[in-house]
Amino acid sequence: MSGIPDTAKPAVAHGMRLQWEPAQEAHVLLYPEGMVKLNSSAGAIMSRCDGVRTVAEIVADLERTYGLTGLSGDVAAFVALALDKRWLELRE
């Protein structure tokens, strides 16, 4: 659906910064003159996008961490959205 291969390695895009903000109790994505407060799912996915792990590995990690299954569709959809918004980019 999303066209994101399992072997893709997403990373926070150049010029963007992801960090945990205790005051907001959330991950926030910081970029030139802007800020997006991520919900907990988005924060959990994005904080694993380090340019090293593949989408498949991120899905496996999330499923293990949260004791869930069948997350691959959600993760792929988020990665596609974040790529479109240039929050993430793919590394080789």
Q: Which residues bind another protein (CB under 8 A)?
A: 14-15, 17, 19, 21-24, 26, 28, 30-39, 41-43, 78, 81, 84-86
Would you say 39 or 69 has its CB closer to another protein? 39
Query: In angstroms, what is the minimal distance from the CB of 84 to another protein?
Result: 7
φ, ψ of residue 37 in degrees (nearest 5): -90, 120
Output the CA–CA distances (angstroms, integers) from residue 84 to 45, 48, 68, in the order listed: 16, 18, 27
Would you say 33 or 92 has its CB closer to another protein? 33
Asked if residue 49 lies in contact with residue 12, where contact means CB atoms within 8 angstroms, the answer is yes
